[in-house]
């Protein structure tokens, strides 16, 4: 069989892909049918031995994917094919009780909740791992001084550890969002055709509660024929937001790996890895670029997820095809991206010497704010101090001179600051503020 989608052969890790494969999906549908039968038996709606038989037969060893596919070709209804396949697998008269009172989405949406529950558990582990890696880099480099950049221009010094702490804190927020939203996302229903529960009789709410309790799922408190698709839209939006952050982190790696910056670099297997088919010297940040590329796909899934929310009346089928694509793809791709980003930062090559060189290459320009603050500390007005330093910085750039030398020749500056005080104000190591303390606080909180 030829493969078309790159997720089938290029992207995605086995554990996440297994949650959404065809056989697992079928097993989840069968799990829900079995749980429904047990709940109905408990409520006295069907015989207990029928529920036992249905539960026993509700496995893909008895109800195969191939048989369901055969029946779907006949019925042109995917869930009815599952119902018929399970019915014929049951012995005695148990089969006549399969799916009693239920509508398709009672089974399908609850099965989806089980898949999302399992996917979220994997994603939480992924997030924990990435946070630990970033926190480790933050601690290791909390005093590694580098050039801060705003608008693509040299700004003031910071530490590489602080940069990593910013990333770790951002990932921790995504972890919080996912945890906070999970009770709204991992929700099932068992309330019949348009959500009234009429098909289950007076014990409808009891049956629904029993089924969801069986799985540890939340309950859609007021459903139409389907679970509210705002829940899925929220989930996809959280993953899209996370994808944006992962692209942000990997874009930073790509920029810092630029030849003219060269402060960090992705790992590169020097003996075998090839950077270019023609330029033999190349070591390209391909893993980071891959994450950035996949992020665009994950973010694009927000639109169909939102468009699935306004269904007609109690439901229509316009959400179905889109969800078959967007839910598995979003989970599989974000899992892949998290794993790749974790490996990028786990094996990141960091070059403190190059960071120092780039700081020094600015010839003191990045210490302008520090000098201004020092002048204000000695009594000069803030606005006047800003003008003095700004004029000196422009003269230094025009002469291609070091800012320290220009300031040292400025009588107005030297009347206020001693040479020792000027040297201290020009020292990047003295102007990283609370970076180490911020790193320590973030690492303590997120781990």
CB 111 within 8 A of CB 31: yes
User: Phi and psi dihedrals of 342, rounded to 5?
Assistant: -60, -45
Determine how many CB atoms are found less than 10 A away from the CB of residue 238: 21
What is the C-alpha radius of gyration for the chain, rounded to an integer number of angstroms?
30
**Treating both helix axes as pointing N-terminal to C-terminal, what angle do 22-42 and 65-75 enclose, rounded to 10 degrees?**
80
Residues 216 and 106: their CA atoms lie apart, in Å, by: 16
Residues 237 and 445: their CA atoms lie apart, in Å, by: 25
- The catalytically annotated residue of 213, 276, 409, 418 is 276
Could you tell me the maximum CA-CA distance found in the chain, to the nearest angstrom? 104
Residues 269 and 275: their CA atoms lie apart, in Å, by: 10
Q: Roughly how many angstroms between the first and final C-alpha of the chain, as a whole number?
A: 45
276 classed as catalytic: yes
- The catalytically annotated residue of 99, 104, 139, 151 is 151
Q: What residues contact residue 272 under an 8 Å CB cut-off, 6+ apart?
A: none
277 classed as catalytic: no
Residues 84 and 96: their CA atoms lie apart, in Å, by: 10
Q: Name residue 147's beta-bridge partners.
A: 157
Q: Which amino acids are annotated catalytic?
A: 151, 276
């Amino acid at each position: 069989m030829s493969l078309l989608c790159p997720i089938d052969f290029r992207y995605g890790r086995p554990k996440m892909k297994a949650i959404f494969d065809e056989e697992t999906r079928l097993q989840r549908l069968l799990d829900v049918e079995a749980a429904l039968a047990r709940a109905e038996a408990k409520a006295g709606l069907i015989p207990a031995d029928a529920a036992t038989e249905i539960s026993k037969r509700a496995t893909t060893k008895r109800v195969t994917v191939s048989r369901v596919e055969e029946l779907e070709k006949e019925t042109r209804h995917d869930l009815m094919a599952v119902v018929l396949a399970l019915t014929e697998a049951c012995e005695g008269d148990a089969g006549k009780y399969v799916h009693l009172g239920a509508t398709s989405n009672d089974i399908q949406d609850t099965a989806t909740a089980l898949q999302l529950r399992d996917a979220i558990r994997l994603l939480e582990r992924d997030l924990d791992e990435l946070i630990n890696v970033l926190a480790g880099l933050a601690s290791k480099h909390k005093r590694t001084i580098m050039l801060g950049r705003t608008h693509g221009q040299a700004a003031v010094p910071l530490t590489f550890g602080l940069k990593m702490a910013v990333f770790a804190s951002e990932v921790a927020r995504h972890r919080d969002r996912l945890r906070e939203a999970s009770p709204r996302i991992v929700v099932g229903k068992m309330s019949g055709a348009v959500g009234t529960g009429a098909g289950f009789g007076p014990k409808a709410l009891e049956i629904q509660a029993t089924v969801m309790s069986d799985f540890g799922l939340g309950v859609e408190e007021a459903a139409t024929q389907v679970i509210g698709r705002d829940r899925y839209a929220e989930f996809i939006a959280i993953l899209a937001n996370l994808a944006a952050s992962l692209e942000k982190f990997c874009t930073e790696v790509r920029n810092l790996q630029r030849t003219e910056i060269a402060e960090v670099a992705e790992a590169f297997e020097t003996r075998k890895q090839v950077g270019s088919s023609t330029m033999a010297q190349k070591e390209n940040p391909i893993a980071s670029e891959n994450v950035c590329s996949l992020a665009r796909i994950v973010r694009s899934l927000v639109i169909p997820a939102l468009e699935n929310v306004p269904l007609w009346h109690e439901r229509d089928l316009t959400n179905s095809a889109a969800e078959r694509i967007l839910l598995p793809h979003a989970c599989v791709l974000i899992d892949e991206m998290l794993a790749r980003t974790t490996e990028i930062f786990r094996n990141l090559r960091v070059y403190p010497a190059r960071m120092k060189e780039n700081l020094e290459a600015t010839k003191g320009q990045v210490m302008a704010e520090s000098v201004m603050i020092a002048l204000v500390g000695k009594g000069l007005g803030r606005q006047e101090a800003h003008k003095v330093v700004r004029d000196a910085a422009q003269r230094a750039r025009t002469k291609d001179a070091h800012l320290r030398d220009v300031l040292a020749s400025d009588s107005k500056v030297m009347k206020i600051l001693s040479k020792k005080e000027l040297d201290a104000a020009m020292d990047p190591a003295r102007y990283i503020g609370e970076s180490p303390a911020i790193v320590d606080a973030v690492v303590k909180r997120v781990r």
